[in-house]
Structures are given as C-alpha cells and as structure tokens.
Amino acid sequence: MNEHLKNCSLERNSMILYQTENMNKTSLRSNIHKLIDQIDNPNLLEEYYKEMKIIIQKSKVSAWDSLNEKQRREVILSYEESEDEGNLLDNDSVMDKYSDWL
C-alpha cells in the first residue's frame, strides 16, 4: 500500500473513532442496526450474533458470580470480621500503609 493510501486509511479510521466516541446511545444503536442491515452473508451475521451475545452475557455477570467457593467464603468471613470494630483500621492508617501503591 502506498504512503498516501495508508495516510488516508489512518485518517478515516481516526474520524470513525472520533465519531463513535461522540455518539449517544440512540445514535450508536441506530448505526449498529444500519451496519447489520448491510450484511448479506448469513454466516457473517451468525458470527456477529454469537459474538454480541457473548459480550452481553459477560457484561451481566456480577463480581460475586465470578468468584469460586473459596473466594466467596473469604468475602463472607471478611464481612463477618468487619462487624467487630477491633478488626477495622481507620482510613489514614490504610493510606499510610499502602501509599506506595496508590
């Protein structure tokens, strides 16, 4: 690909990205529908359908659902231990201890 075509392609991709970032939800949905309506290949439509379904399912999984049993028990134990104020640390102590990480 020559340099001019490469630059045109990059400019076009940048413009599409800019336009996509500035679309509201209704415009995005409308544009997605328009793109899908342009696809004539049933196999390609099926692949897009499967990918979109996976993305939607993953977005609905809660943090709790993603934990295994051991992790869930640890969360419950931590919660129960937090009921005793003697086990709690004040915010300043935590910030001092972990300031290098924050």
Give whole-number Cα distances, 72 to 33, 37, 76, in Å.
Answer: 40, 44, 6
Per residue in 3-52, pLDDT (tens digit) is 554 445 555 555 555 555 667 888 888 888 998 999 999 999 999 999 99
pLDDT digits (tens, 9 = 90+) for 38-91: 999 999 999 999 999 988 888 887 888 889 999 999 999 999 999 998 988 889
Domain extents for the chain? 3-59, 62-102
Q: What is the pTM of this model?
A: 0.41
Handedness of CA 80, 83, 89, 92 (dihedral sign): positive
